[in-house]
Amino acid sequence: MHSFMKSSTFALLGLAGLSQAAIVYHNWDLTTQTVSPDGFNRTAALVNGQYPGPLLAFNKGDVGMIQVNNQLTDPNIRRSTSIHWHGIFEHRNAENDGPSFVTQCPIAPNSEIKAEHSDDPDDPNKDLYDVDDETTVITLSDWFHETAVDLEAAWFAGGPEPVPDSGLINSAGRFVNGTLVPLTRINVEQGKRYRLRLISLSSMGQFNVSIQNHRMTIIEVEGNPVEPYVVDFLPLLPAQRYSVVITANQSVDNYWISAQQTVLGATTSPTNPNFNGSDTFAVLHYAGASSGEPTSSQIFASGPVQFNESLLVPLDNSGPFGGSGPADYTYNFTFNTNASNGDAWFINGIQYQSPKLPTLLNILSHANMLLISATFGTNEHTIILPPNATIEVALIGGRGHPFHLHIHPVNLDSGHAFDVIQSASGGGPNRVNPPRRDTVSSGGTTENPVRIRFITDNPDAGLAVVFAEDPAGIRNGPNSVRPDPQWEQLCYIYNQLPPALQ
Ligand SMILES: *[C@@H]1O[C@H](CO)[C@@H](O)[C@H](O)[C@H]1NC(C)=O
Ligand SMILES: *[C@@H]1O[C@H](CO)[C@@H](O)[C@H](O)[C@H]1NC(C)=O
Ligand SMILES: *[C@@H]1O[C@H](CO)[C@@H](O)[C@H](O)[C@H]1NC(C)=O
Ligand SMILES: *[C@@H]1O[C@H](CO)[C@@H](O)[C@H](O)[C@H]1NC(C)=O
Ligand SMILES: *[C@@H]1O[C@H](CO)[C@@H](O)[C@H](O)[C@H]1NC(C)=O
Ligand SMILES: *[C@@H]1O[C@H](CO)[C@@H](O)[C@H](O)[C@H]1NC(C)=O
Ligand SMILES: *[C@@H]1O[C@H](CO)[C@@H](O)[C@H](O)[C@H]1NC(C)=O
Ligand SMILES: *[C@@H]1O[C@H](CO)[C@@H](O)[C@H](O)[C@H]1NC(C)=O
Ligand SMILES: *[C@@H]1O[C@H](CO)[C@@H](O)[C@H](O)[C@H]1NC(C)=O
């Protein structure tokens, strides 16, 4: 749960449209280069030399073919890597979903893999905005001056948990006493309505987004359209995404876009004086206004209308997965940390550790054997789920823990959106029209846990706790996976690498 994957976090985003389906080819070269988005030079792993990575624009039904070439060369950045397609359902394509040691071995240096992806939602809220393009994508990142390898080594040697140096909006941010890097500018024209796609690329920082003088209307949450919901500010936990509409109906001027960042529950850090979570801004620039920053005083998350996750109403009001009755299977996941063990996280007393043999390979190699949970090691924490069953999971704890004051998001499975039956933001269970998303805050108590619900309709092996969903269906039948020879070579190559290249 706590690996610092900054160096290999890449954004993928589909811009939905309504034209003919097509196969869209992209070539991604992964390289290590010096960048300084907040004015501090460091090496980072980049896709095609850019941070944030390139935008992939798809129409609904398109198939994306992405050739990934690993040319990472910096010894302080993991040399082997993988690309995770967060939020893309990957039906019959679990082998290309990316999580190392769950669905594949990492991609070794100087090697490549071709991956196929498809999916994307339509937008029933389309008449609510005029502009939705690459200029209205807003990414939020916590940014570290040191690489993940170095930070993790210092932390595991007994140091404090690493805290970022700055927060970035798209490609720019600032740290205490650093250079005043020009802020990212989002250009608008008076009178138009804009769909802003807010994406957290964060590994631990949480962001609270607000836009001076402009309320935001949430219309989509992680690929799921919702009834328009107007808020003054909006929290994003790591990996969460929203689309919000703003109307550029204020006087021609520059306005603050604020993304106040909290880490371990605070906007400052006793262990990293560079960090000032209150200093994450971009500029909403009206055509015709002067260039430069707004002259008014800075704004932060405030205003009467606070976002409340339990008030999201899905537009697809077909109700929760499996109907409103009890789920076929229920699980309690209780989160705990162990201070005498590097603050490691435990779920039901088990610390997840990746196996040498990726879960998916293990499943595929058991073609003629009965697959039971004992097939997997204890620390693989793998739970086998039958096909076509409704699963409800209660998440208990994980928030307000004495060692960790921040909320730990749990991306349970890339292959699913789930229903948020009970939200960390309060309210009782909702089994009538719960919101659907794929990244949720844990937290809650034994009496009032966070509850999520999904149906096992996508044979897959997910994350954190691994759910091996319908192992027989993964191997055979209309929904089975079809790995190609390149994928099958990944472990063979990886296992022969010296540790420095892994
Ligand atoms: C950062 O790197 C650039 C070239 O990559 C160099 O010109 C600049 O002086 C460096 N800045 C610092 C503060 O080292
Ligand atoms: C966002 O701001 C509100 C109001 O200050 C606060 O209650 C909430 O905890 C903040 N959320 C995050 C994720 O920082
Ligand atoms: C601007 O647009 C918002 C959202 O449509 C609306 O609530 C608000 O009243 C408008 N303000 C002005 C000054 O027209
Ligand atoms: C920033 O500059 C001020 C004034 O010189 C100094 O007191 C403070 O320690 C500096 N902070 C950091 C993190 O460099
Ligand atoms: C942090 O940023 C805020 C907003 O720009 C600013 O008011 C405050 O002085 C900054 N704090 C430090 C220590 O630089
Ligand atoms: C989950 O925890 C609740 C509250 O302690 C308990 O009533 C319930 O039986 C547990 N469910 C399972 C499946 O263990
Ligand atoms: C916590 O970690 C220590 C050191 O690894 C171990 O001895 C102990 O059993 C762990 N405690 C729990 C509750 O898992
Ligand atoms: C899944 O289960 C439902 C309810 O039991 C049943 O109606 C449906 O036919 C099943 N679907 C598949 C693909 O087995
Ligand atoms: C969020 O809304 C629910 C009603 O769905 C309410 O019970 C809860 O108190 C609200 N949470 C906050 C923090 O206001």
480-493 pLDDT, tens per residue? 777 778 878 888 88
Supply the DSSP string of 83-151, one letter for each residue.
---TT---TT-GGGS--BTTTBPPBPTT-EEEEEEE-----TTGGG-SB-SGGGEEEEEEE-SS-HHHH
User: Which distant-in-sequence residues (6+ apart) come within 8 Å of 240 by Cβ?
Assistant: 200, 222, 409, 437, 439
Q: What is the 3-state secondary structure (H, E, C) of 223-273?
A: CEEEEEEEECEEEECCCCEEEEEEECCCCCCEEEEEEEEEECCECECCCCC
Residue nearest to atom 7 of ligand 9 (CA): 427
pLDDT in tens, 393-424: 898 887 533 222 223 333 343 456 789 999 98
Q: What pLDDT sits at residue 464?
A: 54
Cβ-contact 392, 453 below 8 angstroms:
yes
pLDDT at 81 > cutoff 90:
no
What is the pLDDT, as a whole number, of residue 7? Answer: 27
Residues 478, 393 contacting (CB under 8 angstroms): no
pLDDT at 105: 76
34 lines ligand 6 (CB under 6 A): no
pLDDT digits (tens, 9 = 90+) for 316-364: 878 898 899 999 999 998 888 776 666 677 888 888 777 787 777 777 7
Ligand 4: atom nearest CA of 274 is 13
Among the ranges given (11-15, 220-224, 225-229), the one the predictor scored with the smallest mean pLDDT: 11-15
368 Cβ partners below 8 Å, 6+ apart?
none
Model confidence band, residue 209 (pLDDT cutoffs 50, 70, 90): very high
Average pLDDT over residues 34-39: 97
State whether the beta carbon of 445 lies less than 6 angstroms from ligand 1.
no
Element (H or E) spanning 169, and its range?
strand 166-169
| Total-model pTM | 0.87
Give 19 Cα–ligand 8 centroid separation in angstroms. Answer: 32
Nearest ligand, CA of residue 334?
Answer: 6
Q: Could you report the per-residue pLDDT of 274-320, keeping only the tens digit for each?
A: 999 999 999 999 999 999 999 999 999 888 999 999 999 999 878 89
Q: pLDDT averaged over the chain?
A: 82
- Comparing 232 with 450, the larger pLDDT belongs to 232
With a 6 Å cutoff on the Cβ, whether 348 touches ligand 6 is: no
pLDDT at residue 378, rounded to an integer: 80
pLDDT at 343: 66
Residue 308, ligand 9, Cβ within 6 A:
yes
Q: What is the pLDDT of residues 155-199, one digit of tens each?
A: 888 888 899 999 999 999 999 999 999 999 999 999 999 999 999
What is the token pair recorded at 493? 């190559």
Question: From CA 307, how far away is CA 484, in angstroms rounded?
Answer: 44
DSSP 28-79: EEEEEEEE-TTS--EEEEEETTBSSPPPP---TT-EEEEEEEEE---TTS-S
138 compared with 456, residue with greater pLDDT: 138
Q: How confident is the model at residue 113 (pLDDT cuts 50, 70, 90)?
A: low
449-463 confidence digits (pLDDT tens): 889 898 877 665 544
What percent of the chain is predicted at pLDDT more than 70?
Answer: 81
Cβ distance 434 to 421 under 8 Å? yes
